[in-house]
Amino acid sequence: MTTPAHLPAQRTPRDVLLVGAYERDNFGDLLFLLMTERYLPTDRVTAAAPMAADMSAVFGRYIPAYGPLLKTHAYDTVWTVGGEIGSVSLGAAYNYSLSPGMLSVYQACDAAGRSAIRRSLSSDIDTDLAYVPTLRDFGLNAGARQVLNSVGISAVNRLKPEERDRVIGKIAAAETITVRDRASSALLAEHGIEHTLGPDMVHSISVVLPSDDVASEPYVCFHAASSYVRSAGADAIAGQLVAIAGRTGLGIHLFVAGLASGHDSLARYEEIRDACTRRSPQVKVTISASRDPLDLARSIRQSQGWIGTSLHGRIIAGSYGLPRVSLSKSWKTADLREKTAVYAATWDDAMPHAVALEQIPTAFAQSTSSRLKSRAAETGRELAWAAHRNMVQTVG
């Protein structure tokens, strides 16, 4: 990966702590880290999460917990790199990140036991916002610049009033806030909090990693979270994929966005692959082999289009100007309130989103039509460079 063009020269290296969901296997969260680092080439950057985790099998790193770091080291900038952070408490982060056995132990404990586990795993950090440190609680970093970048916070409105007000107050303490959807922007505007509305920073991937050296391959990327496959059924999904393969002559690449709890399932994908083979043995169906986020991004870039429930799969396809279809997790009906649909409506409305299962072949045909192809490519370029400019401005 090369350093992006047009970055301002940084005269004095800064100590920067990047905070994000790096403790779990989800390629979008990890891309936030890998991409943000490229915009801080002269700074001393440390990546940390609410709890420590050995992620060497996924992308070759051990990730420390940020609580102990904030207590012992002074940073110039503490930077939350992105994602839906508004309603992710520490308990919610544990649900995604702890092993099933450890999560069962935690949930079975009384209040004192849970507090002890939090101190052990996370240095008893703020429990309201797992990925937004409350810097005033860390004396060495009370005056650090706090950045919230590419975040979604509209889910704050689902919290109880007292909790919502407390969370909004903590978000307002950040010096620089960039949100990625209109609903989040409207919430901050309602509370008089200064911010910028900009596309998700992962759109800049085609600026950071141009497509010149990647050959296209004859397949469509398909992604569905484990809950989607469980609800819709592998055979029903296979029927739609085989229909697309029959119309286009393309293979199907089953894209594994993340193996963390509540994300994707290799076993479910194998069910889809086997169901496709039973229906049409000549259709080539593959499953993601690598867990490296950049390998996963490359597999999207090489494809002929994207279909899935993952937001960042759509964003990467968009950055490279590829056809893209976002599925509604409510597979029977279109749900425009879901995260991916809200995001698409803000930035990429022409490409199909909130698509129900039975609409997949028609939506993909629409996304690849001559009428939309050039528009898809133009929108992708615009979003990529808008995200790049926002990153350059945020770096300062």
- At 307-340, the pLDDT tens digits run 999 999 999 999 999 999 999 988 887 778 888 9
Same domain assignment for residues 221 and 96: no
pLDDT per residue as tens digits for the range 74-121: 999 999 999 999 878 888 888 878 887 888 898 899 988 888 888 888
Distance CA 43, CA 63 (A): 18
The residues near 366 (Cβ < 8 Å, ≥ 6 apart) are 352, 372
**Higher local confidence (pLDDT), 312 or 212:** 312
330 is in which domain, residue-wise? 208-384
**Average pLDDT score over residue span 205-221:** 86
182-203 CB burial, b ≥16 within 10 A, e <16: bbbbebbeeeebebebbbbbbb
Query: Contact 205/384 with Cβ under 8 angstroms?
Result: yes
Same domain assignment for residues 225 and 190: no
Both 84 and 26 in one domain: the answer is yes
Averaged confidence pLDDT in the chain: 91
pLDDT in tens, 256-309: 999 988 889 999 999 999 999 999 999 999 999 999 999 999 999 999 999 999
* CATH number of the domain enclosing 218: 3.40.50.2000
162, 197, 232 — which closes off a domain?
197
pLDDT band at 199 (very low <50, low <70, confident <90, very high): very high
Strand partners, 222: 254, 307
Do both 370 and 236 map to the same domain?
A: yes
Burial group, residue 224, by CB count within 10 angstroms (0-12, 13-18, 19+)? buried
